[in-house]
Amino acid sequence: MVVSNIFFLLTIGDHSTYELKDIFNKQKYEISLDTGLVALTCIFKILSGALLIFWGRTGVKTFRPITREFCKHSCSSSSLPISQSIVADTQPKSEGIRLFSRKVIKILVVYLALFIITVLVTRAFMVKAATNYIDFRY
């Protein structure tokens, strides 16, 4: 997602004009999009994709040691009941899980704020483009 949006950002000049054909009046209309706003929404998409990648890497870094320890302990010790040994081994990891949940909430809030900003900017951009088309057409 990030790589394709970077490619789109680099070739944004090729994607800024579109041609519409009116079937009834046999006319052609050319719509030119403001490349600044399209680039801004593309940058928002790149940032949101990077946030999702960061979110996933944080989750893997948090839970990989826990799962390794669980697998190592469950395979090696059969003298203790599993429930007692797991609780004893994973209690120190609870602070890491708390930090992970806080980080997830922060990333989610930033992602939602970025999404809302993107929707508002895109809405304003599309309303402006539609208004210009209607004014030109009628």
90 has pLDDT over 50: no
Quick check: helix, strand or coil at residue 19? strand
Asked if pLDDT for residue 91 goes beyond 60, the answer is: no
pLDDT of amino acid 37:
79
Better-scored residue on pLDDT, 85 or 23 = 23
What mean pLDDT is reported for the chain?
78
Among the residue ranges 23-32, 51-60, 70-79, the one predicted with the least confidence is: 70-79
Other C-beta atoms closer than 10 Å to the C-beta of 114 total 15
Q: Residue 76 and residue 99: Cα distance in Å, rounded?
A: 29
pLDDT at position 81 is 54
Whether the full predicted model's pTM is greater than 0.85, yes or no, is: no
Which letter does DSSP use for residue 20 in this model? E
pLDDT of residue 4: 84
